[in-house]
Every structure is written in C-alpha cells, then in structure tokens.
Structure 1
C-alpha cells in the first residue's frame, strides 16, 4: 500500500512551529516581568500551558499513528472499489436498464465498469440478478373451505410457476458459478419464498433487494467491502 507522506510532514511542521512559538512567548513574557511577585503566576500559568500544548501534540501524534493506517486502508479500498471493480447483469432486461440508469444518474462508478458487453459473470466483482414479478396474486381462497368465515389461503398456480422460475435462476448462478470473493444482489419486485432465499441466505456478500431506491447504496457497499481477488 502506498501512503503519501506529505500530510504527515505538514502536520509535524505545524506541531513543531506551535511549540516553538509557545516557548518564545513564554520566555519573552517571563523575562519582561517588572514585578517579582508575578513570577509565580507566570511560572504556574505559562509553563502549565506549554505542558498542556505538548501533551496535546503528543496525543495528536499517538492518534495519528493508530488511525492513519486504518483510514488509508479504508480510502484505498473505497477508491479501488469504485474505480476498478466491475458489475455483471443477468435477468429481466427492463430492470437491468433501470438499474444502469440509476447508476448513470448517481455517477457512482464509470459506465465502462458495468455497461460493457465484455464483462462476464466469472470475471465480475458484483453480479446482479434481476427477476421481474410475473404474477398478479400470490394467494387465493382455498375452495375446500367454502363455509369458513376465515378461509385459509393457497398459492396461485401463477405464483407457483414464477417461484419455480426464480428458484432456477438463482440456483443457476449460486451453484458453483460464483467464488466467495464475488458479491451477489438478487433484485426482484416479487416475493421469494424460504426455499428460494435459502439458496443464497448463507452466502457472504449477498443481499436481496425489493425496492429500486435501495440498490445503488447496496452496490456502493458491496463494491467497497469485497475482499481482494484476482491478484489485487
């Protein structure tokens, strides 16, 4: 990791300058006293102030020593994630176009990192699977209970067929096609059941998104927190 030394050199120079100026002021005020009875006041006030400044500078540098490596790592990972990582889309074309439009509007990452036909599922850092809702109602009244005031519900055949299709699409991607260091977003406006969710529930760097307004922030989060891969 490459770190710039310029901010630290500037901070060191400023710290030394503050100590020198404080020392000059203290010595000048002490030498210019006209009354001996003021000596104790100057010694107590001025030298205590110098000690406080020195302690503050020491605390500052201690904090810089601990925090700077962490901050440098965070900034480097964030910058790399947004500048270099790529996104692969699969699934419903209309939803894919909607997400790409949101990415262009946000100007979060370069278009060439997600709107490039040469990006493949195997090489992408983040895979977004879009599954469009294709049913009107997920449940209907159970006809076997015609007299019940609180009729139990059963799944509609339309919803069952959609779930089978969604399950197949998710299974096709998650079953050995992604490595642990790749992220996955399943974006759908439908309702997945437990069976479909269980396919990716235990997978790291994976999330389910049901609302378009959330997806750009999830993309940002995953791109900047993924572990290194491909020799990074």
Structure 2
C-alpha cells in the first residue's frame, strides 16, 4: 500500500471514530509503530490531525485567523452567546474571554444590565461602550493579534486581583481525555489564570471544537463546571462530558 493511501485511511478512521491509536493502526496495517508515528507526524505537520500521546485526535478548525473564524458557524455562535449572556445576573462580576463567540456574547447583553465585565479583549471592551450600566475593566498586556487579546506577565499580574462570579472561556478544543486546549502557549497560561479567579468557569464550544484538540493544553476537562453547546449537538459528543461531571447546556 502506498503511503498516501495509508494516510487517507488513517484520516478516514479518525473522522469516523474520533481518535486513532498508533498501536491499533500498526496492527491494522501490519507495520511498525515507528512507521505509523511517522505518518502521524507528517499528517500533523500538514494540519490534518493533532498528535497526542499514543495516537492522534481531530484537529480543531478554530485556530484560523480571527476574521476567518468570525465567519464560521455564525448561527451556532449566536445561540451559544445568547445562552451565556443570560447567565450573567445583575450585580455580578463576569470575566469574558477573547474570541468570536465572546464578541457575540456582549452583543446579547441587555442595555439595562448592571454588572461588571472583566476582559483582556479590546474587542469585547469596545463592544460594551454603549451599555451605560456595565462597568468594563480591560486587562492590559502585550496584544496577541491572532486572537485580539492581551497576554504576558502584566496580564497575569492584573488578573491576580480579581474575584469573579463567572468566567466565559473560549477554547479551540474540548476533549474528555485531552481536556481543554488552544492554539497558543501564552493564551493557555492566560486562560488557566482566569479560570482560577472565577467561582465558575463556563466554556463556549461550537460543534467544531468538540472531540478536537489543539497544541497547548489549558487544563483537564474538569477545569470547567459548565459547557454551552449548540442544541443540535450529537449526544455522542455530549455524553463523555457529562460523565466527567460537567454540566452541558444546550443553546
């Protein structure tokens, strides 16, 4: 069998089963695990899967540039954002992450809401300018242009003084065993730091992010208490999350 044919079969198996294991692929093709791992490395370098210990997971499409991501799954993002916005009660302090779903979230907040929003996203902060009763706290730092958020030591230091009721986390990957992940190392540190400053972390996850992984781990799946998904999400994707003790909210 040609290498290209084998790689095609690996990707088909990954698409149908949600993960592949190097040992099983080795047995399936009658080849050494070293050969299979080389195939997985090459597919990873082409952006076609995400290698993890022992095998590979589907790669998240949510690592594309902000403008491109903004066009993806727009209806699902609006529904998820609407459900998230409804969770913020008057008088609460909520941390809102960067990202396209978060930018949609602030559009869904009623103008009459009296609350405090903490964010490291200039886009989220500007989106709240016309909300007269929402106090906006913008965390400073180095601007990471891919996601339009601030990162770095200054941002982490500023977060250490915050105690929030809710943190709405944006991710690029949600997987029951690989956990929560994102496409940038500094963003992973920031998201973990923000989760530590909130009583409840709520992950905003459109279907493309479920059962997928990116290069940098934010933390175990249990870092989140709740995950908001679109209403039509396959139960097979939701069940492992619920079994891990996560509350899944269908938007």
Normalised to the residue count of structure 1, the TM-score between the two structures is 0.31
Normalised to the residue count of structure 2, the TM-score between the two structures is 0.29
Higher relative contact order (CA 8 A, sep 6+): 1
Mark the structure with the bigger radius of gyration.
1
